[in-house]
Homo-oligomer: A and B are copies of this chain.
């Protein structure tokens, strides 16, 4: 068993779990810091490890162009290349191809798009997406999906969903062949996850979920959310899909994750999360704190001698004041971004630790009530 539910919460779908990977055991619910281009931006891997972060996300899409999958393979794989000893989940590139790539065109074999780095044309297929991620040495591989924009016409949504299912099937076949070749049986620790599409159409989402479960994956991801749709609609999709999915498999909502959204989704039974916000907001000078998000560049922090978050025990909060970080940001000093990135990632990490601790003590309902009372800044 690669995934194990340790404890369920009464009166909620929230659960505590354990996910086995070739690079260690990951406790769930878990938030994955985003390391798009083989680096979680502006933080040393050792500082992530010190804080007990076990699993990060990287994007096969970005690594395709730079430095190239074959280069990383020559370096002994992504873990070795980026000096990361923990586990890595790689996204297949489906989302990025459809949202970031110019001149993207779909063919029966896959999707063709232009490299934003050198302008050359590349083809990503359900098969090549699996091969690429396996060459990276990814602990958790994602199947290639067709992520439609929001809003989309019903016809387009249906087509993208059908394609996602076909691609999932082809990806799974490739995965099985490769597992056979490498281990002469399915790996006991590497995982392949399927991605569920269907926009905000719950019927399509259920159809996709059902088909993906027939194919059979180690875990299921809900993709194509947080692309512009109202939060209530994304949450409705998560609720519907999560309650339909196999309870024995880990469930992952992709790319969505303000702290309060994560709390809501844990309550709906989601185990894995990723989001660029903690590091992106850091680069824009914002910090997550107990009350929400504060913009440290604001003049009111100039003489503020208190730490970013008085509840926080991260290095940035132990040793530095809001006023100092304000000064660094005003002076365009990299250290300002470094400190905010560290704090924001550890804010998320602490949130997940708290969530797991409340779940472990059978007090999820109390935790949830506490969060609902809070005034949370979106």
Residue with the greatest number of chain B CB neighbours at <10 A, chosen from A44, A45, A305, A338 = A44
Residue of B with least CB distance to A335: B39
Q: Are B315 and A46 in contact (CB under 8 A)?
A: yes
Determine the distance from Cα of A79 to Cα of B324 in the docked complex, in whole angstroms. Answer: 11
**A302 contacts B by Cβ under 8 Å:** yes
Per-residue CB contact flags for chain A residues 296-310 toward chain B (1 = under 8 Å, else 0) read: 000000110100000
Q: Are A83 and B334 in contact (CB under 8 A)?
A: no
A296 to chain B, nearest CB (A): 13
Determine the distance from Cα of A75 to Cα of B325 in the docked complex, in whole angstroms. Answer: 12
Per-residue CB contact flags for chain A residues 18-55 toward chain B (1 = under 8 Å, else 0) read: 00000000000000000001110111111000000000
**A354 contacts B by Cβ under 8 Å:** no
7 additional A-B pairs beyond A38-B327, A83-B324, beta carbons within 8 Å, are A39-B328, A41-B333, A67-B326, A75-B303, A75-B321, A82-B324, A83-B319
**A66 contacts B by Cβ under 8 Å:** yes
7 A-B residue contacts at CB 8 Å? A41-B335, A44-B335, A46-B319, A67-B327, A75-B303, A83-B319, A83-B324
**A330 contacts B by Cβ under 8 Å:** yes
**A320 contacts B by Cβ under 8 Å:** yes
**A81 contacts B by Cβ under 8 Å:** yes
Contacts of A323 in B (CB 8 A): 67, 71, 75, 81
Determine the distance from Cα of A44 to Cα of B82 in the docked complex, in whole angstroms. Answer: 20
**A120 contacts B by Cβ under 8 Å:** no
Size of A's binding interface in residues, CB under 8 A: 37
Which of A163-204 touch B at CB < 8 Å?
A: none
**A154 contacts B by Cβ under 8 Å:** no
Which of A73-115 touch B at CB < 8 Å?
A: 74-76, 81-83
A327 to chain B, nearest CB (A): 5
Q: Are B338 and A334 in contact (CB under 8 A)?
A: yes
Known A44-B315, A334-B42; contact A83-B303, beta-carbon cutoff 8 A? no
**A206 contacts B by Cβ under 8 Å:** no
Contacts of A37 in B (CB 8 A): 327-328, 331, 333
Which chain A residues have a beta carbon within 8 Å of chain B's beta carbons? 37-39, 41-46, 66-67, 71, 74-76, 81-83, 302-303, 305, 315, 319-321, 323-324, 326-328, 330-331, 333-335, 337-338
Contacts of A75 in B (CB 8 A): 303, 305, 321, 323-324
Query: A71 touches which one: B39, B44, B303 (CB < 8 A)?
Result: B303
Contacts of A38 in B (CB 8 A): 324, 327
Q: Are B67 and A334 in contact (CB under 8 A)?
A: no
Known A42-B338, A335-B42; contact A67-B305, beta-carbon cutoff 8 A? no
Residue of B with least CB distance to A332: B37
A168 to chain B, nearest CB (A): 30
Contacts of A331 in B (CB 8 A): 37, 39, 66
Q: Are B338 and A337 in contact (CB under 8 A)?
A: no
Query: A74 touches which one: B82, B303, B319, B333 (CB < 8 A)?
Result: B303
Residue with the greatest number of chain B CB neighbours at <10 A, chosen from A45, A74, A75, A76 = A75
Contacts of A42 in B (CB 8 A): 334-335, 338
Q: Are B71 and A330 in contact (CB under 8 A)?
A: no
Q: Are B66 and A327 in contact (CB under 8 A)?
A: yes
A127 to chain B, nearest CB (A): 26
Residue of B with least CB distance to A283: B334
